Amino acid sequence: MEKEIIYNSNLHFEHEIWRRELFFWQDELIIFNNRLSELVTRWTKKEVLKQLDHFQNEFILHGGVIEDLLEEIEIHETRMAGQDLVSHDAMDTILVKKHMEFRKKMEVQEEIYADLKKDFFRFLTKYL
């Protein structure tokens, strides 16, 4: 049975896709926070302000998660670069396992972020 070879260039490509997605999320969070600022000036009802506060907290938390994920990508890229220095284009088992675990993290975070956006858009539809 032939072993599957996983190349650094393929993992690097996936990292680049994830980075771009994370940077896009950061940009969206700026826009969402600007929208929150607009709503704060329009509403004085406690229930609405409570929801605004909830979304602001969620956006702050998600921003922290984005930073953590970007840092993890950088760490993995550094490890991959170390392998490149010793002329190994194929990943070792440990680094591939870490990459697959990170892929799962990204998939989970994509779902969490998509749900947050849906909830926020529903909120905007109700109060804008």
What's the distance, Cα to Cα, between the start and end of the chain in Å? 60
- pTM reported for the whole predicted model: 0.86
The DSSP line for 22-78 is HHHHHHHHHHHHHHHHHHHHH---HHHHHHHHHHHHHHHHHHHHHHHHHHHHHHHHH
Averaged pLDDT for residues 41-60 = 94
For 120, what's the count of Cα atoms within 13 Å in the CB-facing half-sphere? Answer: 23
User: In this predicted model, what pLDDT tens digit does every residue of 60-102 receive, in sequence order?
Assistant: 999 999 999 999 999 998 888 777 666 655 566 788 888 999 9
What are 108-128's pLDDT values in tens digits?
999 999 999 999 999 999 987
Give residue 90's pLDDT: 57
Alpha-carbon 111 to chain mean position: 10
| Closest to 65 (Cα-Cα) out of 123, 110, 13 | 110
